Amino acid sequence: MRYSDENLDIVPAQAVAAGRRRSLMRVEPIRFDPVFTGVALAEEDRQFKADVSFRGLLLDGREVPLLTPYALQLWAEPPPVWVMDPLEVLAEKILGWCVHGLVKHYADVAWITLAAENPGSPLAFDYPRLREVLDAKLATELPRVSWRRFV
């Protein structure tokens, strides 16, 4: 995660396991020095954190153009980036809400499902497929527990 060029330096702290199974690593703080700007930033505004999961993905990622809602003229053609399949993101958010009860996961689920209803939305999904992905994720995460008894 370390990065450096003439405009930006990014220096991460050591990654540490965030759980017993070591499938989730947390890196905090990740400090950055934006040489490209003269704006004075407070120390807390020059850092962020990242969680990296090594649980694996069930669905293939998607290659999409990196777009911004601003006319920044960053590139002639938007570069392609790989993102997690939105259905798998939704499944992760649902499980995050159920397991941890964090409102941020609930809000993400609400936003994704509302955005998916727009005609032609790249977030559109069908509920039977979502249930299949949730079932597979639960089987991976809770191999010794039959989650169906809770449903």
Give the model's pLDDT for residue 6.
84
Give the model's pLDDT for residue 118.
94
Give the single-character DSSP code of 24.
Answer: E
Report the alpha-carbon distance of residue 93 to residue 134 in Å, rounded.
10
**8 A C-beta contact, residue 12 and residue 1:** yes
Q: Is the per-residue pLDDT at 60 higher than 50?
A: yes
Write down how long the chain is. Answer: 151
Residue 145: pLDDT band (50, 70, 90) is very low
3 state SS of 104: helix
Question: pLDDT tens across 16-35, in order?
Answer: 998 776 788 899 999 999 88
Mean pLDDT of the chain: 87
Give the model's pLDDT for residue 2.
87
In 3D, which of 85, 77, 80 has the Cα closest to residue 65?
80
**8 A C-beta contact, residue 111 and residue 93:** no
pTM of this structure: 0.69
**8 A C-beta contact, residue 40 and residue 11:** no
